[in-house]
Amino acid sequence: AAENGEDFMALTGRMIAAMQEDFQRLGNLPPDHEPKATEFVPGMIEMIEQLIEKGFAYAPGNGDVYYRVHKFAEYGKLSGKVLEDLKAGARIEVEEQKEDPLDFVLWKAAKPGEPSWSSPWGDGRPGWHIECSVMGKCCLGDTFDIHGGGSDLTFPHHENEIAQSEACNDVKFVNTWMHSGAIRIDNVKMSKSLGNFFTIREVLDKYDEEVVRYFMISSHYRSPINYSEDSLKEAGVRLERLYTALKGLDLAGVAVPENNEFEQRFFKVMDDDFNTAEALAVLFELVRHLNTVRSQDVSAALPLAALLVKLGGILGILQRDPEAFLKSGTDVDAAMIEGMIQQRNDAKKSRNFAEADRIRDELAAQGVILQDSRDGTTWRIER
């Protein structure tokens, strides 16, 4: 903000708006609460005061407040870290007044030019970890079910959240931790230092939003996900296969079968640590069955197609018109394509098969794939 010559609230407001826009493009549902740390500073001061009162924190007199790590007997229970091992590599910076190298900051004294708030220890700002403990408590209670975050946040951030919250509230902080794997670029971890860094917005400018979403859910959330051009193209092909199974089916008013075998298996794998990769595998098995039934009786395939749309909706996919999706992602003029298809049909009627093949090849070179059937010729975009 200082470099930009703007108020830090204007900067964060702009970044939050950009984040929300990206999430919306990916099809993410908005959260019930979206707390901002700057709105919860009084609660942070209150929690720090409670930790001091209980002996879990101390103010050395320089405007800082630190958490007394050795006081919390269960420190390291999330990450598996051992205090003695951590101490061996810890050190105290010159300006710090810690009792122990492992102690971490709860409140930091103000520095010139930085945002600050009034507190019992002087003007300053909250530490990184205390913010999350307080926002979680205020929005979800002393104990809540699911806490997410990148796997790199397990230690020290989430470990410190546990230490703060459980010492203050005397109850378990979180029931289930869901840590997501890192993004890798061509099997190398993405980082600014390596120069292989890009934003989700840059990806969405190049690829269809639903294809990107499919790519993200095709791996288990705890596993690293490898981003590459080939991976995105493969995601597009696989999503296209799902939409192709729905093409030409009118599902208006079609009832979804209850307690279907595929639905049971879908929920079973989703209930097993949110295994979206296995859930997609169930959808493809459903598609194979749907296609088999459809080849014999279209009407009997409709409930299966409705089930495919329902289960896909849980993952945030398959909610678009199949025809529209299959023709999306190109700058080619649809009217021009339809005109060329008509020219090809005329050539075939005239038994000018060389011209018909030439038109097919010309469209294929533009990424337009033709499909002939008894009902006529349709087209889709090759991904």
Which of residues 187 and 127 earns the better pLDDT score?
A: 127
188 and 321 share a domain? yes
User: What pLDDT, on the 0 to 100 scale, is given for residue 326?
Assistant: 86
Tokens encoding 207:
């690829």
Residues in the chain: 383
pLDDT tier, 269 (very low <50, low <70, confident <90, very high otherwise): very high
pLDDT in tens, 157-215: 999 999 999 999 999 999 999 999 988 887 787 777 777 778 889 999 889 999 999 99
Separation between Cα atoms, residue 323 and residue 342, nearest integer Å: 18
pLDDT of residue 118: 97
Residue 151's pLDDT band (cuts 50, 70, 90): very high
Shared domain check, 370 and 263: no
CA atoms within 13 A on the CB side of 357: 4
Helix (H) or strand (E) holding 161: helix 159-169
67 band by pLDDT with thresholds 50, 70 and 90: very high
Mean pLDDT to the nearest integer, 72-98? 84
| Residues 6 or more apart in contact with residue 172 via CB below 8 angstroms | 143, 166
Residue 68 in any domain: the answer is yes
* 272 plus 354 within the same structural domain: no
pLDDT, tens only, 6-32? 999 999 999 999 999 999 999 999 999
* Residue 339: Cβ-neighbour burial (10 angstroms; 0-12, 13-18, 19+): exposed
Phi and psi at residue 317, in whole multiples of 5°? -130, 170
Q: How far apart are CA 272 and CA 262, in angstroms?
A: 16
3-state secondary structure of 270: helix
From 122, 156, 119, 161, select the one nearest 140 (Cα to Cα): 161
Instruction: Count CB-CB contacts under 10 A for residue 289.
Output: 16
pLDDT band, very low/low/confident/very high, at 77 (cuts 50, 70, 90): very high
Residue 242 domain flag:
yes
Q: Which domain holds residue 154?
A: 31-180
Model pLDDT, residue 146:
96
Q: Give a yes or no: residue 10 inside a domain.
A: no
Domain count, the chain: 3
What pLDDT is recorded for position 95?
Answer: 62
Question: What is the rounded CA–CA span in Å between residue 383 and residue 212?
Answer: 12
Tens of pLDDT, residue by residue over 311-365, are: 999 999 999 999 889 887 655 677 788 888 889 988 888 999 898 889 888 888 8
Read off the tokens for 254.
């079609």
Same domain, 278 and 249: yes
Residues 123, 44: one domain?
A: yes
